[in-house]
Each structure stands twice: as structure tokens, then as C-alpha cells.
Amino acid sequence: MFKIMFVCHGNICRSPMAEFVFKDIVKRQGRESDFLIKSSATSNEEIGSPVHYGTVRKLSQYGISCAGKRAVRLTREDYDKYDLFVCMDSYNLVNILKIFGADSAGKIHLMLEYVDSNRDVADPWYTGDFDKTYDDIKSGCEALYKFLCQQVLK
């Protein structure tokens, strides 16, 4: 089983959106048993909070539920529990390295690396544009799934 953790600042907008979009992709491909998919925050600000209503609304447009999801914080111990950490932006990447101390196994990556972009995933917390965030995450998750199926889970 391949274990993925999606990471953003508060775990209420982008990382839960990525978690549930990726779960939906995996489910539609009949590969649920091949993956463990979670999301977390690098900060303590939103711990225990539900998913942002904008993310809930956007996901529901595609028949994707994130019911019951609450923000959790990434821990140092997570490094050994997961195979891949997918950060939504470069700021998250800096913070995740502060939590882990290092990335000796090369497990930490940016979401849009998988679509050959050095751009960060649009942050709807500041823009209010959940459409753009969804587009970034959807394309990133599809490319990540393809990459994993071709390179890791052959």
C-alpha cells in the first residue's frame, strides 16, 4: 500500500481538496486498496476545524464528499509512516522541513511538479477562487496518479 499525505498551511482548503480529489480518482480506477490517502497542516491554527465551506461546495459540484474531515497537524513521526508528502506551495515545503528536520529519503514534493510547473497551487484562502484551486489540484492529482502508476506501482 502506497501512503500519501497532502499538506498545506491549515488543512481546511487545499490539502483536504487534494486528499478527496485523489481518493475519487483512485476509487474510479478501482485501486482503493493500493493507497492510503490523508492530508494535514503545517500550522496549529485550524486544528479541529472542518473543511472550509468553499472547498466543500466545490467538491460537492463533482459529487465528492469530505464529510467528517477535520484539520490535523503533521507530526515528525509522520515521516516514517508515509511514502510521499505533497505540498501545495513552497511555503508549506519550508515548514514541512522544519517539522521533519530533513528529507533524507526524498519524500517531499510540490503538487504542481507533477504537471511540470514550478508554480504553487492557488490559495483560495486569499483569493476566494476555489475554481482555480480545484483546477490546479485536479490536474496535479491526475498527473500524480499517472506518475505513481507508471513509476511506483507498476
For residue 146, give the CATH number of its domain: 3.40.50.2300
Tell me the C-alpha distance between 22 and 6, whole Å: 10
What nine digits make up the cell of 96? 514541512
The dihedral built from the CA positions of residue 79, 85, 90 and 92, taken in this order, carries a sign that is negative
pLDDT at 151 over 90: no
* Average pLDDT of the segment spanning 72-90: 97
Q: How confident is the model at residue 153 (pLDDT cuts 50, 70, 90)?
A: confident
What torsion do the CA atoms of 128, 45, 70, 104 make, to the nearest 10 degrees? 100
The domain containing residue 6 runs over which residues? 2-152
Quote the number of domains for the chain. Answer: 1
- pLDDT tens for 113-146 read 999 998 999 999 888 999 999 999 999 999 999 9
pLDDT at 152 over 80: no
Residue 51 Ramachandran class (φ > 0 left, ψ -120 to 50 alpha, else beta)? beta
Task: Give the residue numbers marked as catalytic.
Answer: 8, 14, 123
| Lookup result for grid cell 511540470 | 116
Give the chain's end-to-end CA distance (angstroms, integer). 12
